[in-house]
Chains A and B, each alone.
Chain A
Amino acid sequence: MSLSPTGALRHSGNLFAMALDVVRAMPRRPFQAREFIQQAWFVASVTILPTALVSIPFGAVIALQIGSLTRQLGAQSFAGAASVLAVLREASPIVTALLIAGAGGTAICADLGARKIRDEIDAMRVLGIDPVHRLVVPRVLASMVVAVLLNGLVSVVGVAGGYFFNVVLQNGTPGAYLASFTTLAQLSDLWAAEIKALVFGAISAIVASYKGLTAGGGPKGVGDAVNQSVVITFMLLFVTNFVMTAVYFQVVPQRG
Chain B
Amino acid sequence: MGVEICVEGLTKSFGHQVVWQDVSLTLPAGEVSVMLGPSGTGKSVFLKTLVGLLRPDRGSVTVAGRDITRLRERELYEVRKLFGVLFQDGALFGSMNLYDNIAFPLREHTRRSESEIRRVVLEKMDMVGLIGSEGKLPGEISGGMRKRAGLARALVLDPEIILFDEPDSGLDPVRVAYLNQLIVDLNAQIDATFLIVTHDISSARQVPDNIGLLFRRELVMFGPREELLNSDEPVVRQFLGGRMQGPIGMAEEKDAAQVKQELAQLVDTAPAREPTPRLLPGPGITRPPRWEAIARREAALHRKEVTGA
Contact = CB atoms under 8 A, between A and B. Distances in A.
Interface in A93-144: 114-115, 118-120, 122-130, 134
A104 B110 CA distance: 33
Interface string B84-100: 11011101111000000
B109 A128 contact: yes
Contacts of A134: 108
Contacts of B94: 114-115, 118, 120
Contacts of B118: none
B91 A129 contact: no
A123 B109 contact: no
Interface string B234-250: 00000000000000000
Nearest to B79: A128
Interface in A182-204: none
B295 to A, nearest CB: 32
A119 B153 CA distance: 14
A127 B89 contact: no
Interface residues of A, number: 15
A254 B93 CA distance: 52
Contacts of B51: 125-126
Given A126-B53, A127-B105, A129-B108, A119 B87 contact: yes
Residue of B80, B91, B94, B157 with most chain A CB atoms under a 10 A cut-off: B91
Residue of B51, B88, B89, B105 with most chain A CB atoms under a 10 A cut-off: B105
Contact of A120 (B48, B73, B78, B92): B92
B66 interface: no
A115 B108 CA distance: 18
Contacts of A115: 93-94
Contacts of A125: 51, 53, 77, 80
Given A128-B109, A129-B108, A118 B89 contact: yes
Interface of A: 114-115, 118-120, 122-130, 134
Interface of B: 48, 51, 53, 73, 77-78, 80-81, 83-85, 87-89, 91-94, 104-105, 108-109, 150, 153, 157
Given A119-B88, A126-B53, 12 more contacts: A114-B94, A115-B93, A118-B91, A119-B89, A119-B91, A120-B92, A120-B94, A123-B93, A127-B80, A127-B108, A128-B105, A134-B108
List 9 tightest A-B contacts by C-beta distance, closest first.
A119-B91, A123-B91, A119-B87, A126-B85, A128-B80, A128-B81, A128-B77, A127-B105, A129-B108
